[in-house]
Amino acid sequence: MATRTLGQNKTLHKLLKELRYDEAQKEALILGYTENRVSSSRYLTIDECSQINVFLQSEVNRLKTKQSADKSLKKYRAFILSKFTEIGFLIPVPAGEKQDYSKVNAWMKTHSYLKKGLWEYTLAEIRDLSTQVNAMANAYINKD
């Protein structure tokens, strides 16, 4: 039973660091993959280390995808809130003060196409909401 390679170990520790695993989490992960045989990466087999690295890489990829989606959601929400500001639903507040979103959320829960609050929309749903709010704001601005 050959132990993991130096390259595998470097990859393992790079991924663990990227995912911010602490020592207890690392040991639990290794124990799980080795069926409680070892708790240190030093004694992992090539296959065990490979399986752990594949799992950790998938976690890194999932995390990056989520962060990207969160960033996109934030941009859509900012656009939508800017439209509500344009039509007077939101009044800009000084830095450090908390914005009151009750009027926006009341509109969202009664008029938005899925009838739910702004922060409840997923990335797939918020694209259509953005289009709806933009059309509503443009109609409101151009009604005079």
User: What are the pLDDT digits (tens) for 17-32?
Assistant: 999 999 999 999 999 9
pLDDT band for 144, please (50, 70, 90 cuts): low
Residues 17 and 37 in one domain: yes
Q: What percent of the chain has pLDDT over 90?
A: 83
Residue 1 falls within a domain, yes or no?
A: no
Residues 123 and 97 in one domain: yes
Residue 95 has pLDDT above 80, yes or no: yes
Residue pair 81/88 in contact (Cβ under 8 Å)? The answer is no
User: What are the pLDDT digits (tens) for 30-63?
Assistant: 999 999 999 999 999 999 999 999 999 999 999 9
pLDDT score recorded for residue 18: 96
Cα 22 to Cα 6, 29, 39, 44, distances in angstroms: 21, 11, 13, 18
Residue 82 falls within a domain, yes or no?
A: yes
Residue 1 has pLDDT above 90, yes or no: no
Residue range of the domain that includes 85: 68-141
pLDDT score recorded for residue 129: 97
User: What are the pLDDT digits (tens) for 115-135?
Assistant: 999 999 999 999 999 999 999
Rounded to 5°, angle at Cα 96 from 117 and 134: 35
Residues 95 and 113 in one domain: yes
Separation CA 109–CA 104 (nearest Å): 9
